[in-house]
Amino acid sequence: MVNGLLCWIHLTGTLAAYLAAAVHDVQHKGLNNDFLIKSSDKLALLYNDISPMENHHLATTFTLLSQEPLNFLARTPRKMFDAIRKVVINMVLATDMRGHFSSLSLFKSKLHLTDEPNASIVSQRPSDSGGHTVAGGFHPNKAKQWTPVALKCADIGHLAAQPEVHRRWVLLLEEELFRQGDREAASGLPVSALMDRSKAGITKSQTGFLNIVALPLFKAMAKAFPAMEPLLAGVQVNYEAWRLEEEAEKAAEKAADKGTDPK
């Protein structure tokens, strides 16, 4: 699947995409941006409440790369380094869920995705006549639109994993969110939705997240790149499992209510 995507960008773009994927969560605090902003965390103050966690990932990455022993791009021509840096910044900033829907909408509009069965950009190879394409590659301007969305898919990639792997990730994420809720309560802040240990967590809201966020994202990428279809299928399998579980729980609750009905 990875090769099915990376064949559409030149080598510089491929390097940038791998680098962005490797560093997109470096030094993550296990807290979301809303908490950093509400608690006046130093990162929120430093980045003026604008994607503080993602900006920190990027700043940390390029600070490390500026150190001689770590700078594997030291001999890269300046123009190429600037291009790589721009792609990495664009991709990592896109993982801020606050801009999810606008990013997805832009992606679909820029790539002219339609509901036609065969309307994928893979079948729309650009002409070499303009002199702006890489041999066997994809137009750089369009690559800027889809590489951030590809990283967004990878960021929540556990949704496409085998059910047992996916469930383990969800439980770990739920615990991370509960820990943030604990900190919010200890700080006198309102506890965010799905982060209160005394109430239902994200394990009880997966169908909503999958239906509203994940499925449209993976469907758009699979429409653009058929190589993504196995991942979309994985997301659909996990969605169906959560949906059936939710229906069973509702049926059990309904039956229990009838059993206690004095009538």
Domains parsed from the chain with CATH numbers: 1-155 (1.10.1300.10), 157-263 (no CATH)
Q: What angle is formed at CA 202 by the lines to CA 195 and CA 17, rounded to 5 degrees?
A: 100
- In the chain, the percentage of residues whose pLDDT exceeds 70 is 83
- Dump the DSSP string for 77-119: -HHHHHHHHHHHHHHHHTT-GGGHHHHHHHHHHHTT--SSTT-
Q: Which of 161, 165, 253 is nearest to 204 (CA)?
A: 253
pLDDT for the residue 94: 96
pLDDT for the residue 132: 35
> Residues annotated in the binding site, as ranges?
24-25, 155
pLDDT for the residue 124: 45
pLDDT tier for residue 190 given thresholds of 50, 70 and 90: very high
Under 8 Å between Cβ of 227 and 214:
no
Question: What digits encode the pLDDT tens for the residues 77-132?
Answer: 999 999 999 999 999 999 999 999 999 998 988 877 655 555 555 544 443 333 33
pLDDT for the residue 118: 53
Rounded mean pLDDT, 194-201: 95
Under 8 Å between Cβ of 161 and 170:
no
Whether the predicted pLDDT of 262 surpasses 70: no
Whether the predicted pLDDT of 223 surpasses 70: yes
> Residues annotated in the binding site for Zn(2+), as ranges?
24-25, 155
Whether the predicted pLDDT of 259 surpasses 80: no
Global pTM? Answer: 0.84
Question: What digits encode the pLDDT tens for the residues 133-166?
Answer: 333 344 545 677 789 999 999 999 999 999 999 9
Q: What is the mean pLDDT of the chain?
A: 87
Distance, in Å, from the CA atom of 62 to the CA atom of 85, rounded to the nearest integer, reads 8
Rounded mean pLDDT, 228-246: 97
